Amino acid sequence: MKQLILLISCNILSIVSVNAQNQADTQIYKAQIIYTADTGFSVSTSMVVSNGVILYVGTDKTADSLFPKAQSINYGNNIIYPGFIDAHCHFLAYTKGLSQADLVGTKSEQEVIKRLKKYVKKNKARFRTIESNPTPWIVGRGWDQNDWENKAFPTMDALNKAFPNLPVCLSRIDGHAVWINQTAINTIQLNPDTLLEGGEFIFNQPTATTQLPNQSSKEKPQPAEKHSSEVFTGICIDNAAEIVKNQIPDVPFSVWKPYLKTGLKNCHSQGLTQLVEAGIQVSDIDMIQDLQSKKELTMRIYAMLACSEDNLSYVSRNGMTFTDMLTVRSMKFYLDGALGSRGALLKGDYCDQLGHKGLQLMTIPKFEMYQVYLLNKGFQVCVHAIGDSANTIALKTFNKNIPGGYDARWRIEHAQIVSGKDQKLFSKRSIIPSVQPTHATSDAAWADSRLCNTINKGGYAYQNLLSQSKVIALGTDFPVEGISAIHTFYSATQRMDAEGELEKPFIGEQALSRKQALWGMTLWAAYANFDETRTGSLETGKLADFVVLNTDIMTAEPSKILKTKVKATYLNGENVYTR
């Protein structure tokens, strides 16, 4: 007890010394409740901030008496929480996507065409063929054949008819498949009559063309037998989609910049103060740093580098990168594709495509080679693993390569289907599951059709994973899902979707408690970014990233959670959004 008193009096002394220096830059934020999300989940009503740092969290009386000259900002009946962290998203892709045709929520192929025509009309200046832009592409994203009456993949016929002269490339909602037209094929001189590792061109009859890679297989497409009687549909999955996407000219910064601003504002309006960019390029790092230094990107970013030659040589040259606003110390790998496009690597056959087990996007020896390299560089390894077989590979290799007692914090992104036996593999080397609760509730409608029995396969078992890992990081994977942190909280705790399409909770026994969900969006997400000493909770000495909500989401009726409004968002103590 003596020690505790000493500690408290030391804290107060240091506060008073700051207090004596200057109070003009000091604010006291008051609210009905301040959820600190610290390890004890303590609550308070006053928080003192100076120059972007939290000086004190506690009672109004103490705050007022310690800082009598500080400016008081009273949020009345509203509630303060730590700024939300999206533990897995694609912010740059999202903002670029805002300049593309939005196909989210389309209910048929015809509706896709209708939206595209409207989009081209609205942006007609961009689709004029000029010397500097000889082949303007129509790029769109967000279609999902699972939402259509005809749930089979579409074909290129309708696209060819509507857009005979412009190349079209439309990404599926999960980003793991694209739908292209004949002009796109001609423009990039694509030959779909090839087999390739970890990818597939879809022909009009399902073909078992996918080969599981082995150590000796190369990543470049290899010539293969012709699909004599079959017609290429224009659907390209995983690495086949990458071949197409890599050849589409990038959106010019002048076109993209206003959308970047809009995207940032959208994120602030959801209370987001920190994002995990799940796979970017070296060139993005310079751009992010430049925008952050000009205060045009007021967002804390934890960037995972995508696995590529350029990025690996950046790691070898530069090691880790840290600024106040950007951390680069991790690399992201893909072991498989997505469940919606049947690219997730399963142990057994897909229930709705017998003989097909999904796609393995990287060989085990290659993946292990990267793990050992990055371990020696002190880098965190993050791997996309959705299917149960991909998760087995991720967990077994991580357990093999992380030395005992080492604070690696390697992450499995999605950890969507993990068998009961494999779930236990999270604990030994403290592997972090990084999951997206809105994926669970979006997939709920059709997961059983792919997996036969999602529960038995260990699907979306967040509570089980948490009981092993002790920490779970929550994100959205936006733009695959929406950007709303409140929807993440709702899906995680209620296992119901915000759109109200589910009739009952999806595997409700795996719901997280509200406390767990809030930690997953704050303190645990910060921990997964090695940032828990600076962010993730509202504590003395930490950075003042916080959000003001009009609802107490820790106690509100479930239906009221969805009606929550963000009143204000603060980053480094600066107001970046007010409603």
Closest separation in Å from C-beta 67 to Zn ion: 43
SS3 content of the chain, % helix, strand, coil (to 5): 35, 25, 40
Of 116-124, 333-341, 471-479, 533-541, which part binds Zn ion (CB under 5 A)? 471-479
Task: In angstroms, give the least distance from the CB of 477 to Zn ion.
Answer: 4
* Residue 578 burial (CB count, 10 A): 12
State in angstroms the smallest separation of the CB of 577 from Zn ion: 24
Nearer to Zn ion, 281 or 467 (CB): 281
Instruction: Find the part of the chain contacting Zn ion (CB under 5 A) among 37-45, 63-71, 220-228, 474-482.
Output: 474-482
Q: Residue 109 or 477: which CB sits closer to Zn ion?
A: 477
Residue whose CB is less far from Zn ion, 278 or 554: 278
Cβ distance to Zn ion smaller for residue 388 or 477: 477
Least Cβ distance, residue 139 to Zn ion (angstroms): 18
Q: Which is nearer to Zn ion, 413 or 497 (CB)?
A: 413
Q: Is the CB of 242 or the CB of 477 nearer to Zn ion?
A: 477
Member of 197, 336, 477, 531 binding Zn ion (CB under 5 A): 477
Q: Please give the full DSSP string across 493-540, using - where no structure is assigned.
A: HH---TTS--SS-TTGGGPPPHHHHHHHHTHHHHHHTT-TTTSSS--T
Amino acid at site 555: T
**Amino acid letter at 339?**
L
Could you tell me which residues come within 8 angstroms of residue 318 by beta carbon, excluding any fewer than 6 positions away?
A: none
Q: Between 120 and 177, whose beta carbon lies closer to Zn ion?
A: 177
Convert residues 112-151 into a mask of x (bound to Zn ion by CB under 5 A) and - (unbound): ----------------------------------------
**In the block, which residue shows the tokens 């960019």?**
277
In angstroms, the CA 194 to CA 192 distance is 5
Contact between 272 and 301 under an 8 Å Cβ cutoff? The reply is no
- Positions 276 through 335 that interact with Zn ion (CB under 5 A): 278
What residues are paired with 84 via a beta bridge?
272
- Given the complex with Zn ion, which of 67 and 84 has the nearer CB atom? 84
In the complex, the smallest distance separating the C-beta of residue 332 from Zn ion, rounded to whole angstroms, is 8
The H or E element containing residue 96 is helix 91-97
Shortest distance (Å) from residue 494 CB to Zn ion: 23
CA angle 262, 472, 438 (to 5 degrees): 50
**In the complex, least distance from residue 90 CB atom to Zn ion, rounded to whole angstroms:** 6
Q: What's the CA gap between 56 and 11, in Å, rounded?
A: 9
**Residue 528 in the binding site for Zn ion (CB under 5 A):** no
**Which residues from 220-279 bind Zn ion, rule CB under 5 A?**
278
- 448 CB neighbour count, 10 Å cutoff: 16
361 vs 547, which CB is nearer to Zn ion? 361
Cβ contacts of residue 447 below 8 Å, gap of 6+? 339, 454, 459, 460
Q: How many residues in the shown chain lie near Zn ion by CB under 5 A? A: 2
CA distance 200 to 217: 15
- Least distance between Zn ion and beta carbon 137 (Å): 23
Could you list the residues that contact Zn ion (CB under 5 A)? 278, 477
